[in-house]
Chains A and B, each alone.
Chain A
């Protein structure tokens, strides 16, 4: 059973090991299912750190982060890795793909590391490959590209492959860290539309991080990290 709240943060304080002051101090942040959120702020304000915390790569210091009802602070690192594999898909700004794998194998990567995602990818009746091909097709990637090595594709095409990979197996959360920043202006909106459409179809909630405020209207929620982050006031990070 999935809970309605995807991410629930309470009184989170995070400090990097060699820093004297906290990097993040968030009293509250909550994300419900279907609430695609746009997270923005200037560079260096702690966006990537927050993503790493939600993604279970970093352990929270004080306070609580709940991911789909699980308290990340109480889990061991291997358990957090498992949670991430099972429930979260990532899209980065660039260099999203493993260069020595063909496109289709890149899309299938999460299914190799998570049994849950592999099973969920296959429930739509088709095989794993079939599901990957379906997603690629929906993301406007031509069939002749599927077997090609990832490095053969343009940046825009690579980002769409990354989106397919993030979505396969219907993860509950999709974290996109500046995914359009390397794309041309015309492509940015198109990519965003595709991403949100497929996320809705997969039942995934998108947490979209960017410094480009022009994209904000596409999202239900608009979160300004410097406003939420008590540690940001008066500090230069």
Chain B
């Protein structure tokens, strides 16, 4: 087991040495990606990964939090179990299915309803300009949000359930409303657990491949508009890897993979250590 993770790391470094040697640190800041002239830079992919995951987190964290609140505090047990199963099934749907649905159903829906609405109200921002074909950063971000929502909801639900009833009841006893108890007691008490949940979701979103590849449009250019095509580290890998014929192209792609591996490993490790500290602090296992 230990060897496996070291082997992955070593193998990725060895296989990308060609590209590391040729481009050095500038790989991270160059936005050009041109297989013909053999100039490669990861900036557009890293940018795309950052933007799409940011959109996903902005949508999924609040929604996941409030859904968890509904499951723990508000819903009758039967409904909570029903919704809980639904959320779990949402997590079990394979990512390629999200991709299919995103490409053929959700993207046209975005183009037909959401994008025109955003453009007519917030069109003065460069974020919401450009053509509206449904694909692009925004759609990818929304689909990622749907995919990580179940994870955030599940962990947050566990965190909320760990808050001792006595603490909540004493707040209710003072006449606080459900929302006041949630905001000032439950969320504050479980704050660090919620951060851990968000980190786990973040790790998922960054590594997600197929769904993003279907809807992001796949272009190696950085554009300000969220409606325009972009790409992410994972979508670049999925699209080009099997077709990369030049050694340097392949090597650059593997270096992209290495960057992704490092990012997710750091996030995962941090989330683990964090959650462990939280559960120790609360005296309950997560």
| Chain B binds chain A | no
